[in-house]
Amino acid sequence: MTRTLTCLLALGALALQACEEKAPLPMPQRSGTPAPQAPSQPAAAAPAQPPALAPAPNPPQADIGAFTVGGINLRVPPGWKPVPVASTPFAPVADLRFASPAGEARAAFFVVEGGGKDANLQRWQRQMTGVREPLITISEIAGLAVTRIDMLGEYRGMTPTGAAAPPVPNTRFVGVIIEGAARPVQVRITGPKEAVDAGLPSLDAMLGQMTMPK
Protein backbone atom coordinates (compact mmCIF):
# COMPACT_ATOMS: atom_id res chain seq x y z
CA MET A 1 0.00 0.00 0.00
CA THR A 2 2.70 2.32 0.96
CA ARG A 3 4.62 1.52 -2.21
CA THR A 4 1.61 2.17 -4.31
CA LEU A 5 1.09 5.62 -2.72
CA THR A 6 4.72 6.50 -3.29
CA CYS A 7 4.44 5.66 -6.98
CA LEU A 8 1.36 7.82 -7.39
CA LEU A 9 3.07 10.80 -5.76
CA ALA A 10 6.09 10.37 -8.03
CA LEU A 11 3.90 10.28 -11.14
CA GLY A 12 2.07 13.47 -10.03
CA ALA A 13 5.35 15.33 -9.53
CA LEU A 14 6.52 14.32 -13.02
CA ALA A 15 3.27 15.52 -14.60
CA LEU A 16 3.47 18.90 -12.82
CA GLN A 17 7.07 19.37 -14.00
CA ALA A 18 6.09 18.65 -17.60
CA CYS A 19 3.30 21.26 -17.47
CA GLU A 20 5.67 23.91 -16.11
CA GLU A 21 8.20 23.21 -18.89
CA LYS A 22 5.51 23.72 -21.59
CA ALA A 23 4.17 27.03 -20.16
CA PRO A 24 5.15 30.10 -22.35
CA LEU A 25 7.89 32.29 -21.02
CA PRO A 26 6.94 35.89 -20.17
CA MET A 27 8.01 38.55 -22.80
CA PRO A 28 10.93 40.65 -21.66
CA GLN A 29 10.23 44.36 -21.18
CA ARG A 30 12.31 46.75 -23.41
CA SER A 31 13.89 49.62 -21.69
CA GLY A 32 13.31 53.15 -23.11
CA THR A 33 10.05 52.31 -24.85
CA PRO A 34 8.49 55.67 -25.89
CA ALA A 35 5.21 56.56 -24.34
CA PRO A 36 2.27 56.42 -26.71
CA GLN A 37 1.67 59.74 -28.47
CA ALA A 38 -1.57 61.45 -29.25
CA PRO A 39 -2.54 61.57 -32.93
CA SER A 40 -0.67 64.43 -34.64
CA GLN A 41 -2.70 67.58 -35.30
CA PRO A 42 -2.20 69.74 -38.43
CA ALA A 43 0.02 72.76 -37.76
CA ALA A 44 -1.96 75.93 -37.16
CA ALA A 45 -1.70 78.48 -39.97
CA ALA A 46 0.28 81.62 -39.16
CA PRO A 47 -1.97 84.63 -38.55
CA ALA A 48 -2.37 86.75 -41.64
CA GLN A 49 -0.28 89.93 -41.59
CA PRO A 50 -2.03 93.19 -42.45
CA PRO A 51 -0.96 94.58 -45.81
CA ALA A 52 1.91 97.04 -45.62
CA LEU A 53 0.73 100.61 -45.79
CA ALA A 54 2.10 102.69 -48.64
CA PRO A 55 4.18 105.65 -47.41
CA ALA A 56 2.29 108.89 -47.27
CA PRO A 57 3.20 111.25 -50.09
CA ASN A 58 5.61 113.95 -49.11
CA PRO A 59 4.09 117.40 -48.82
CA PRO A 60 5.02 119.77 -51.59
CA GLN A 61 8.40 121.20 -51.01
CA ALA A 62 9.52 124.69 -51.72
CA ASP A 63 11.82 125.19 -54.67
CA ILE A 64 15.37 124.93 -53.35
CA GLY A 65 18.38 126.56 -54.97
CA ALA A 66 21.05 129.08 -54.23
CA PHE A 67 23.00 131.57 -56.28
CA THR A 68 25.33 134.51 -55.78
CA VAL A 69 25.16 137.93 -57.45
CA GLY A 70 27.76 140.62 -56.82
CA GLY A 71 28.89 138.90 -53.61
CA ILE A 72 25.36 138.51 -52.22
CA ASN A 73 24.09 135.01 -51.40
CA LEU A 74 20.44 134.36 -52.25
CA ARG A 75 18.10 131.37 -52.26
CA VAL A 76 15.34 130.76 -54.80
CA PRO A 77 12.04 131.52 -53.04
CA PRO A 78 8.95 129.25 -53.08
CA GLY A 79 6.99 129.43 -56.31
CA TRP A 80 9.87 130.86 -58.33
CA LYS A 81 11.89 128.73 -60.75
CA PRO A 82 15.29 129.54 -62.26
CA VAL A 83 15.65 129.44 -66.04
CA PRO A 84 18.84 129.32 -68.12
CA VAL A 85 20.30 132.71 -69.01
CA ALA A 86 21.63 133.73 -72.41
CA SER A 87 25.34 134.26 -72.90
CA THR A 88 25.03 137.87 -74.09
CA PRO A 89 26.37 141.13 -72.60
CA PHE A 90 22.88 142.28 -71.53
CA ALA A 91 21.73 138.94 -70.05
CA PRO A 92 21.14 138.78 -66.27
CA VAL A 93 23.29 136.79 -63.88
CA ALA A 94 20.19 134.94 -62.63
CA ASP A 95 16.69 134.75 -64.09
CA LEU A 96 13.69 133.57 -62.02
CA ARG A 97 10.12 133.07 -63.21
CA PHE A 98 6.80 132.93 -61.32
CA ALA A 99 3.81 131.40 -63.11
CA SER A 100 0.25 132.45 -62.26
CA PRO A 101 -3.17 132.39 -63.95
CA ALA A 102 -2.61 136.04 -64.88
CA GLY A 103 0.68 135.32 -66.64
CA GLU A 104 4.34 135.08 -65.79
CA ALA A 105 6.37 137.39 -63.57
CA ARG A 106 10.11 137.67 -64.05
CA ALA A 107 12.89 138.59 -61.62
CA ALA A 108 16.21 139.34 -63.33
CA PHE A 109 19.36 139.89 -61.27
CA PHE A 110 22.19 142.04 -62.66
CA VAL A 111 25.58 143.21 -61.50
CA VAL A 112 25.77 146.97 -62.15
CA GLU A 113 28.46 147.79 -64.70
CA GLY A 114 27.96 151.52 -65.07
CA GLY A 115 25.91 154.45 -63.83
CA GLY A 116 24.98 155.30 -60.27
CA LYS A 117 21.79 154.68 -58.37
CA ASP A 118 20.03 157.85 -59.48
CA ALA A 119 20.95 157.32 -63.15
CA ASN A 120 19.47 153.81 -63.08
CA LEU A 121 16.28 154.95 -61.36
CA GLN A 122 15.79 157.57 -64.08
CA ARG A 123 16.48 155.02 -66.80
CA TRP A 124 13.82 152.68 -65.39
CA GLN A 125 11.29 155.49 -65.26
CA ARG A 126 11.92 156.25 -68.94
CA GLN A 127 11.07 152.63 -69.76
CA MET A 128 7.59 153.06 -68.28
CA THR A 129 4.80 155.24 -69.66
CA GLY A 130 1.42 156.05 -68.16
CA VAL A 131 2.79 155.91 -64.61
CA ARG A 132 0.96 158.20 -62.21
CA GLU A 133 3.63 158.47 -59.53
CA PRO A 134 6.48 156.01 -58.88
CA LEU A 135 6.86 154.82 -55.30
CA ILE A 136 10.48 155.02 -54.14
CA THR A 137 11.62 153.67 -50.76
CA ILE A 138 15.03 153.31 -49.09
CA SER A 139 15.84 150.74 -46.41
CA GLU A 140 18.71 148.70 -44.96
CA ILE A 141 18.87 144.88 -44.98
CA ALA A 142 21.78 142.90 -43.52
CA GLY A 143 23.93 146.03 -43.54
CA LEU A 144 23.18 146.70 -47.23
CA ALA A 145 21.47 149.81 -48.59
CA VAL A 146 18.36 148.87 -50.57
CA THR A 147 16.60 151.37 -52.85
CA ARG A 148 13.31 150.30 -54.42
CA ILE A 149 11.05 151.79 -57.10
CA ASP A 150 7.53 150.47 -57.79
CA MET A 151 5.60 151.51 -60.92
CA LEU A 152 2.50 150.42 -62.88
CA GLY A 153 1.99 151.27 -66.56
CA GLU A 154 3.20 150.33 -70.03
CA TYR A 155 6.67 148.83 -70.03
CA ARG A 156 9.16 148.92 -72.87
CA GLY A 157 12.18 146.88 -71.91
CA MET A 158 15.16 145.50 -73.80
CA THR A 159 15.86 142.18 -75.45
CA PRO A 160 18.96 140.13 -74.44
CA THR A 161 20.78 141.74 -77.37
CA GLY A 162 20.07 145.27 -76.11
CA ALA A 163 17.36 146.15 -78.65
CA ALA A 164 14.09 147.76 -77.57
CA ALA A 165 11.30 145.27 -76.86
CA PRO A 166 7.63 145.84 -77.80
CA PRO A 167 5.63 147.77 -75.18
CA VAL A 168 3.62 145.70 -72.69
CA PRO A 169 0.61 147.36 -70.99
CA ASN A 170 -0.59 146.63 -67.43
CA THR A 171 2.97 145.90 -66.31
CA ARG A 172 4.06 146.24 -62.71
CA PHE A 173 7.72 147.15 -62.57
CA VAL A 174 9.62 146.80 -59.29
CA GLY A 175 13.28 147.75 -59.45
CA VAL A 176 15.67 147.12 -56.55
CA ILE A 177 19.21 148.48 -56.21
CA ILE A 178 21.41 146.88 -53.52
CA GLU A 179 24.61 148.65 -52.47
CA GLY A 180 27.30 147.71 -49.98
CA ALA A 181 28.33 144.27 -51.23
CA ALA A 182 31.33 143.46 -53.43
CA ARG A 183 29.52 145.08 -56.37
CA PRO A 184 26.17 146.89 -56.72
CA VAL A 185 23.28 144.62 -57.64
CA GLN A 186 20.04 145.34 -59.47
CA VAL A 187 16.88 143.26 -59.36
CA ARG A 188 14.24 143.97 -61.98
CA ILE A 189 10.79 142.42 -61.37
CA THR A 190 8.33 142.74 -64.24
CA GLY A 191 5.13 141.13 -65.44
CA PRO A 192 1.34 141.47 -65.45
CA LYS A 193 0.22 143.31 -62.33
CA GLU A 194 -1.67 140.32 -60.95
CA ALA A 195 1.30 137.97 -61.47
CA VAL A 196 3.76 140.33 -59.80
CA ASP A 197 1.28 140.91 -56.97
CA ALA A 198 1.17 137.14 -56.34
CA GLY A 199 4.91 136.44 -56.56
CA LEU A 200 6.39 139.53 -54.95
CA PRO A 201 5.83 138.60 -51.26
CA SER A 202 8.02 135.49 -51.48
CA LEU A 203 10.65 137.41 -53.46
CA ASP A 204 10.67 140.17 -50.83
CA ALA A 205 11.14 137.49 -48.15
CA MET A 206 14.13 136.17 -50.09
CA LEU A 207 15.72 139.62 -50.22
CA GLY A 208 15.09 140.00 -46.52
CA GLN A 209 17.25 136.91 -45.89
CA MET A 210 20.15 137.70 -48.23
CA THR A 211 23.63 137.25 -46.78
CA MET A 212 27.25 137.97 -47.67
CA PRO A 213 30.22 135.62 -47.26
CA LYS A 214 31.93 136.03 -43.89
CA 193, CA 92: separation in Å to the nearest integer?
22
SS3 content of the chain, % helix, strand, coil (to 5): 20, 35, 45
Least confident of 46-60, 65-79, 170-184: 46-60
Structural domain contains residue 213? no
How does DSSP classify residue 158? B
Helix (H) or strand (E) holding 23: none
How far is C-alpha 170 from the chain's CA centre? 36
Q: 158 or 191, which is more confident? A: 191
Identity (one letter) of the amino acid at 203? L
pLDDT band at 20 (very low <50, low <70, confident <90, very high): very low
Angle at 122 between CA 118 and CA 125, to 5 degrees: 140
Q: Find, among 1, 209, 204, 5, the residue nearest to 107 by Cα.
A: 204
Among 53-57, 70-74, 160-164, top mean pLDDT goes to 70-74
Our count of domains for the chain comes to 1
| Domain-embedded: residue 105 | yes
Nearest Cα to Cα of residue 182 among 149, 144, 209, 208: 144
pLDDT confidence tier of residue 205, bands split at 50, 70 and 90: very high
Question: Taking a C-beta distance cutoff of 8 angstroms, is the pair 82, 94 a contact?
Answer: yes
Residue 132's φ and ψ, nearest 5 degrees, are -70, -60
The parent domain of residue 93 ranges over: 77-208
**pLDDT of res. 37:** 53
23 within domain boundaries: no
Q: State the CB neighbour count (10 A cutoff) for residue 50.
A: 6
72 domain-assigned: no
Q: For residues 210 and 84, what is the distance between their CA atoms, to the nearest angstrom?
A: 22
Reported confidence tier of residue 122, pLDDT bands at 50, 70, 90: very high
- Give CA–CA dist 69/137, Å, rounded: 22
d(CA 211, CA 143): 9
Say which CATH number the domain at 121 has. Answer: 3.40.1000
Neighbours of 109 (CB within 10 A): 22
DSSP state at residue 92: -
Q: Please give the model's pTM, rounded to 2 decimal places.
A: 0.68
Angle at 61 between CA 60 and CA 64, to 5 degrees: 155
